[in-house]
Copies of this chain bind each other. A is one copy, B any other.
């Protein structure tokens, strides 16, 4: 069973590539919106070609574009611009992440968009924000992690800094974008007017460092790298097993003693500098080293059972293959197998909110490039002759037949 979301009947035009805008619009599509992804001729969204591929299809694209339609058109051509204008007249929301100023240069400034459709919510996503000395610079997720202080904090204290190996700035920006759209749609109900919503990777990044940044602004110390550890209590972090790592956290001496017993190392409680949490925090290198010697004697699954019995809060340091096989993950039902027309069974991760116990509906897998061009233009009132004319003039592209493509028949 799945549920539909409240955005049914809301039409969103996405002019978006890569991660942030496609993810934000996928969230809105999951919540029920009709998302029409307007893609450029000659390939569409860059992420369609990103490695790794599965059956010729980019996993990244696959993970960020479900429940959408794809329309390929060149809005820099006058007849293409006319089509985009008609789409905007029919829509509730426009979301775009072109270079700053590029859509305005193509004739679609915010002023013009308001003339076309004063009820349209217009969302602009940028890297560094609308203004300031870096507003025109290229911006990637990891670069913004570095810029906003995240890379400097991540990694071992005796090694170089590390990145967060996930698109936390991009995906976070997609989530803020979706929140901005929900808010702007409510505003529209209250005022009858659309709003210009802006989000950026840098603004998202500053939100992620909210608490430590406020601390430094208030005169606190600049956070140092602590590997898998934590400032407040020791031991806390990843410890080696003979075949992997486990994560554990000990908040007081009772729990510490239970841990030592579980590791068959009760003698460690008498080590100098191990006597209480404050001492262990001060001596964390030696505490962690001695504990690691103890944990490394056991295989991961044995260690996890010992920690469980000792009631020490813990987790496996799971690799993603273990995550896929995990019974708790299975119990939640968030990973769903869907049928993809080319790939067959595909495992997808549903949006992590349930409503009366139901996840949001997986209505369709990500669209082939241009698969909905003809249908969407027909619904705008174009005849098949007009569509053929636009096709011949190179203003639009229509859907690739994927089956044919895999047999080499596609241009």
Which A residues are within 8 Å of any B CB, using their own CB?
5-7, 27, 31, 51-52, 54, 59-60, 62-64, 128-135, 137-138, 140, 142-144, 146-156, 159-168, 171-173, 175-180, 182-187, 189-190, 195-200, 202-204, 206-220, 222-223, 225-232, 236-238, 240, 245, 247, 249, 313-324, 326-332, 334-335, 343, 346-349, 351-357
Contacts and interface: CB of A to CB of B under 8 A. Distances in A.
A309 B337 CA distance: 49
B202 A332 contact: yes
Contact of A209 (B195, B207, B216, B323): B323
B328 A199 contact: no
A132 B328 contact: yes
Nearest to A205: B352
Given A215-B52, A349-B213, A147 B318 contact: yes
B190 A6 contact: yes
A204 B134 CA distance: 32
7 contacts: A146-B315, A147-B318, A150-B165, A161-B228, A213-B323, A213-B335, A213-B347
Contacts of A196: 355-357
Counted per complex, copies of this chain come to 2
Nearest to A57: B218
Contacts of A335: 206, 213, 217
Given A146-B245, A147-B247, 11 more contacts: A54-B219, A129-B328, A140-B249, A149-B322, A153-B320, A155-B156, A159-B159, A161-B238, A195-B356, A206-B323, A210-B349
Nearest to A354: B198
Contacts of A140: 249, 313
A313 B150 CA distance: 18
Contact of A324 (B143, B213, B349): B213
Contact of A31 (B183, B223, B238): B183
B52 A220 contact: yes
Contacts of A147: 247, 315-316, 318, 323, 326, 328
A137 to B, nearest CB: 8
B216 A353 contact: no
A152 B315 contact: no
Nearest to A19: B211
Contacts of A317: 146, 151-152, 161
Most chain-B Cβ atoms within 10 A of its Cβ — which of A165, A187, A225?
A165
Which residue, of A150, A156, A198, A203, has the highest number of chain B Cβ atoms within 10 A? A203
Given A214-B63, A317-B161, A332-B202, A150 B134 contact: no
Given A202-B329, A332-B203, A346 B163 contact: no
Contacts of A212: 166, 320
A6 B179 contact: no
A155 to B, nearest CB: 5
B195 A355 contact: yes
